[in-house]
Amino acid sequence: MKYSSIERSAEGIPDLSYKSWRKRNISSRLLSFLAGVFACLAVLPLIAVLIYILIKGVASLNIDLFTQLPPPPGGSGGGVGNAILGSIVVTAIATWLAIPIGVGGGIYLAEYSTGKGFSQFIRFGTNVLAGVPSIIAGVFIYGVIVSTRILFGHTFSAIAGGAALSVLMLPTVVKTTDEGLKLVSNDLRRAAFGVGASHFVTVSQITLPKAFTPIATGVVLSIARAAGETAPLIFTALFSPFWPNGIFEPIATLSVLIYNFSAQPYDVQNQLAWAASFILVVFILALNLLARWLGRIANQ
């Protein structure tokens, strides 16, 4: 008998040793090399952006950058302290609005819905909302809150900016809550029902705490996405060169400051824009690393 694909040794035992000269092994190494090249090309833009922002922005890092207001056009010195504080305020408002609604929607889809009718509509709407451009969310909140002056007669405000960002956060929070609760074993639910626990007690005391880590991961990722948005805030929070004066007044944010200062013909403003870009990138990178850490805990 002839063996074309598997060679035999003198004892008749198939020779399964690796042979680098075989055509299939050469093709495997070539394809592995190409996959590595494409992987490097995929992350190259990220690395280039981070290095460039680091080079341009780190030179302006000092105490004044975090504690002072931006200088007037053509002025010198100053910082972006109001924009840093404003970004924290707007993101906190968005988180406060999005988490209860998003987590509640995810709980309904995973624990109470029948998988038909209304629940299918919610899932479809969530998928559509996840693909809506961020500027549409800004225009929507502008039409609902800013132009109507529904907030006690105020127009542009921090709370309007937070509402716009919460719209962008909702799909991620709903999806991660839904999927996180689905990962909880049904045996835990049956055991709770078996000892007489109600559906509400089972969800609140058993399944929801068990799915806390994946839900928290989704919340952190949604915050990271919302924190870097610019277009919705231009239509809602606008900008202010002063320290925040309440949530019903226009407020400065890092993303809008970068947008405004990068277009000005002054070196001081341009340098502050690079410094603000560095701070914003570090903040978003830290949130993504936190999300990966939470995800690693969930997989343990």
172-185 tens-digit pLDDT: 999 999 998 988 88
Average pLDDT, the chain: 86
- 291 pLDDT tier (thresholds 50, 70, 90): confident
Segment 249-265, tens digit of pLDDT: 999 999 999 999 988 88
Instruction: Collapse the DSSP code of 154 into the 3-class scheme (helix H, G, I; strand E, B; otherwise coil) and give the result.
Output: strand
pTM (2 decimals)?
0.83
Amino acid found at 152: F
Tokens for 13? 């035992």
Instruction: Collapse the DSSP code of 14 into the 3-class scheme (helix H, G, I; strand E, B; otherwise coil) and give the result.
Output: strand
Is 1 a residue whose pLDDT tops 50?
Answer: no
Closest Cα to residue 216, out of 280, 290, 122? 290
CA dihedral 147, 226, 86, 55 (to 10 degrees): -130
Tally of CB atoms within 10 A around 97: 18
Contact, 169 vs 95, CB < 8 A?
yes
**Helix or strand holding residue 8 (H, E):** strand 7-8
Segment 105-140, tens digit of pLDDT: 999 998 888 777 888 888 888 989 888 899 999 999
pLDDT at position 102? 93
Instruction: Collapse the DSSP code of 234 into the 3-class scheme (helix H, G, I; strand E, B; otherwise coil) and give the result.
Output: helix
CA 72: distance to chain centroid? 33
Q: Where are the domains of the chain?
A: 63-299
Segment 56-96, tens digit of pLDDT: 888 888 898 898 999 888 788 888 999 999 999 999 999 99
d(CA 85, CA 132): 28
As a residue count, the chain comes to: 300
d(CA 42, CA 48): 11
70: left (phi over 0), alpha (psi -120 to 50) or beta: beta
d(CA 93, CA 138): 15
The residue written with tokens 């900016």 in the block is 161
CA 211 to each of CA 56, 99, 192, 208, 292: distance values in angstroms, whole numbers, following the listed order: 41, 15, 16, 5, 16
Alpha helices in the chain (DSSP H): 23-57, 63-67, 81-107, 118-130, 134-141, 158-182, 186-194, 199-202, 208-210, 212-227, 231-236, 254-262, 267-299
Alpha helices in 142-205 (DSSP H): 158-182, 186-194, 199-202
CA 25: distance to chain centroid? 41
d(CA 67, CA 209): 39
CATH 1.10.3720.10, applies to 63-299: yes
d(CA 160, CA 249): 9
